[in-house]
Amino acid sequence: MRLVRYGRPGKEKPGLVDEEGRLRDLSGVIPDIDASVLSDRVLRKIARIDYKTLPLVRSTPRFGVPVKGIGKFIGIGMNYSDHAAEINAPIPKEPIMFMKAISCLSGPDDPIQLPKGSKKTDWEVELGVVIGTRAQHVSEEDALKHVAGYCVVNDVSERAFQFEMGSQWDKGKGCDTFGPVGPWLVTRDEVYDVQDLNMYLELNGKRMQTGNTSSMIFSVAQIVSYVSRFMTLEPGDIICTGTPPGVGHGRAPQRYLKKGDTLRLGIEGLGEQQQEVLAFPKA
C-alpha cells in the first residue's frame, strides 16, 4: 500500500493512493496514520479493504509527512562508498549515527527555508525506513520484520553548521524544513528488494545525484539491527540511510542551495518530492 496524509499543515487526513494512482480517503477507517496502525497486523487489516469503496479525493491537496507523531528521526552518515570518496572521507567501519530534530520534518513538496546565517545548505536524497514494531537489540535476520515500510527523505544539511562548528553533526541537520518526508509510506510487502532501488535528485532540472541502494555500505537490515543496540526503536521512528554521490559539498566547484532553486528527487517505487528554496525571512 501507499499510505499518505493529506491536507493543510496540522490538519492532515489519512489517505491511500490506489493502483490507478488516485487518492482515496481513509479517515472513515482509521483516524490517522500513526504508531497505532504500523504493525503488520493492522496494515494487513487495512490492505484487505476493497479500496474501490473508499471515497475519492477529487482535489489535488498538499501531502504532509506520511506518519504522524514521529518520535525519533535518525540519520546514518557516509553510507555510500562513492559519496564518502567525493568528500574525501574514510569508509566507516561502523554506521555513523546522528539525530535530526523532529521540528525539521516537513511535507515532501513544502518549501525548504535557508536558515539564518546559512552559506552552505546542501541536498541529500535518501531512503527512509519507518519502524512498525518495537525493536530492541534485534538481529540482522529479524530486523526487517520490525519495518513498516519505506519512503523518500531529503536529508537537507547545512555543511558549515555540520562540519565547521564543532564535532557534532546535529546542528547542521535539524534546521526547520530540513526533513522533507514522503510523498507516501510504501508498506514493506510492496518493496521486493530494498537493496536494489534506483534513486535520483535534480537541481533546477539538472541531474545531480544518481544512485542505487545496492551501493550502501551497511544494508537496511544491518542499520536497523545496529541502531537498536543503542536506542529502542519505536513504531513511527524514521531512519534515513545515507545518500549517493552528487551532493553540492562534493562538487568542484562546490554548489550550495540559494533562494529560488528548485529540487526534484525520488526513489524507484517510493514516489517523488519537489521543493522550492526560500530565503530566511527578514525581521
Q: Tens of pLDDT along 110-126?
A: 999 999 999 999 999 99
Looking at residue 165, what is its pLDDT?
A: 87
For β-strands 125-131 and 147-154, DSSP reports them as antiparallel
Buried-exposed string 156-171: b where 16+ CB fall within 10 A, e elsewhere: bbbbbbbeeeeeebeb
66 in a domain, yes or no?
A: no
| Domains identified in the chain, total number | 2
Average pLDDT over every residue of 14-24:
96
* 38 neighbors 132 (Cβ within 8 angstroms): yes
Q: What's the CATH number where 222 sits?
A: 3.90.850.10
Per the structure, the complete domain to which residue 209 belongs is given by: 73-278
Residue 161 lies in a domain: yes
Report pLDDT for 163: 85
31 and 150 in a single domain? The answer is: no
- Residue 126 domain-assigned (yes or no): yes
Sole residue written with cell 487489516: 45
Strand 112-113 relative to strand 206-212, pairing? unpaired
Q: If pLDDT is split at 50, 70 and 90, which confidence band does 81 have?
A: confident
Residue 231 lies inside a defined structural domain of this protein? yes
* Tens of pLDDT, residues 169-205: 889 999 999 999 999 999 999 999 999 999 999 999 9
pLDDT at residue number 283: 63
In this structure, the answer to whether residues 123 and 257 fall within a common structural domain is yes
Q: Are residues 206 and 271 in the same domain?
A: yes
Residues 28 and 118 in one domain: no
Neighbours of 145 (CB within 10 A): 15
Residues 115 and 255 in one domain: yes
One domain, residues 136 and 87: yes
Note whether 100 and 48 are same-domain residues: no
Pair 161, 222 in one domain: yes
Residue 65, domain member (yes or no): no
Q: Are residues 86 and 23 in the same domain?
A: no
- Closest by CA to 225, choosing from 134, 130, 140, 128, is 140
pLDDT of residue 88: 78
Q: Among 13, 35, 268, which Cα is nearest to 131's? A: 35
* Owner of C-alpha cell 529560488: 260
Residues 41 and 142 in one domain: no
pLDDT class of 13 with cuts at 50, 70, 90: very high
pLDDT digits (tens, 9 = 90+) for 155-170: 999 999 998 887 778 8
